[in-house]
A and B are shown apart, each in its own frame.
Chain A
Amino acid sequence: QKEVEQDPGPLSVPEGAIVSLNCTYSNSAFQYFMWYRQYSRKGPELLMYTYSSGNKEDGRFTAQVDKSSKYISLFIRDSQPSDSATYLCAPVTGGGNKLTFGTGTQLKVEL
């Protein structure tokens, strides 16, 4: 089983839709959970960062972590064409200093 798994997509939605992006992991040592966004031919940029189970909201973005089922979600409300990118989940262990990236989900928001 891969350490971090994401559906690669592509996921195509109309502008204004609510988007749900998901990630599962197998390593119980992961304690911190990051979501990165990567535009084509660019480096990843941090979107959201959570520590414990539960929800964290930042503008149109909500990150949700369920440690009991090792399941991470990112919700995007009122999606915009500018949200079209690849979304990468990247958990980190408690004492670790490396991100373990999933393969990413490619999102396309259409006008």
Chain B
Amino acid sequence: EPEVTQTPSHQVTQMGQEVILRCVPISNHLYFYWYRQILGQKVEFLVSFYNNEISEKSEIFDDQFSVERPDGSNFTLKIRSTKLEDSAMYFCASSLRQANTGELFFGEGSRLTVL
């Protein structure tokens, strides 16, 4: 069964460092997403990406965040200068159709710990 894969599974970094989280979406999917979940809190939308551009982003997704699809298979989330409050589980997801008409497939997440 096709799945979304994420790397690394866990990353520890120092405050102020740049972090790149990587995702390989399901191959024929067209929509890509990043969500995050701070420990003990709800899953929050960060950004959606379609046709090589951001289609929607939340207020959390400020200038410190960026996304990229550098080739036909990877989808990355970059945090330029990490803060303590960026510590969370980051989930990548992909879908064949828009979120309101299709199923989002989530990866197992990348846990980011900022010290």
Contacts and interface: CB of A to CB of B under 8 A. Distances in A.
| Main SS class of interface, A | loop
Interface string B31-57: 101010000011111001010000110
Nearest first, the 5 A-B pairs at minimum CB distance are A43-B106, A92-B100, A98-B45, A101-B43, A32-B100
Given A44-B43, A99-B45, A103-B42, A92 B99 contact: yes
B43 A97 contact: no
Interface of B: 4, 31, 33, 35, 41-45, 48, 50, 55-56, 58, 91, 93, 98-101, 103-104, 106-109
Contact of A97 (B42, B48, B103, B109): B48
25 contacts: A31-B100, A32-B100, A42-B109, A43-B93, A43-B108, A44-B106, A45-B106, A46-B103, A46-B104, A49-B103, A92-B100, A93-B100, A95-B100, A96-B100, A97-B50, A97-B56, A98-B33, A98-B45, A98-B48, A98-B58, A99-B45, A99-B99, A101-B45, A102-B42, A104-B42
Given A98-B58, A101-B42, A101-B43, 18 more contacts: A32-B100, A41-B109, A42-B108, A43-B106, A43-B108, A44-B43, A46-B104, A88-B43, A96-B99, A96-B100, A97-B31, A97-B50, A97-B99, A98-B56, A99-B35, A100-B45, A101-B35, A102-B42
Q: How large is the interface on A (under 10, 10 to 19, 20 to 34, 35 or more residues)?
A: 20 to 34
Interface string A37-72: 010011111100100000000000000000000000
A34 to B, nearest CB: 8
Nearest to A32: B100
A77 B55 CA distance: 39
